Amino acid sequence: MEPRAGRIENGAIVLDDDSGLVEGAPVTVLIGESLLPVRASREELELVSRGRAAAAAGELIDARDFLRALRGRG
């Protein structure tokens, strides 16, 4: 599963990048509460994909340690 940006055109969801998807491929659509479109660059989507891959590989940071580090930078 990976995030992809898109828009609605004539009542259909059209992805900005549909490479690697075949006709009839299952997708999940998350609709946010905001009425404003959220734009993400290819670089931002790549960062999300790399983060997901790192998490899947077990490269995680404990949330408490992360929050302590954030507080220390104030």
What is the tens place of the pLDDT at every residue in 4-24? 778 888 888 888 888 888 888
At 33 the pLDDT is 67
Radius of gyration, CA atoms only, the chain: 17
Q: Judge whether 6 and 15 are in contact, CB under 8 Å.
A: yes
Give the other-Cβ count within 10 Å of 30's Cβ: 5
Stated as kind and residue range, the H or E segment containing 45 is helix 42-56
Q: Reduced to 3 states, what is the DSSP secondary structure of residue 13?
A: strand
- Model-level pTM? 0.42
Identify residue 23 by its one-letter amino acid code. Answer: E
Mean pLDDT computed over 30-47: 78
- Does 71 or 74 have the greater pLDDT score? 71
pLDDT above 70: residue 35: no
At 57 the pLDDT is 93
Percent of the chain at pLDDT > 70 equals 89
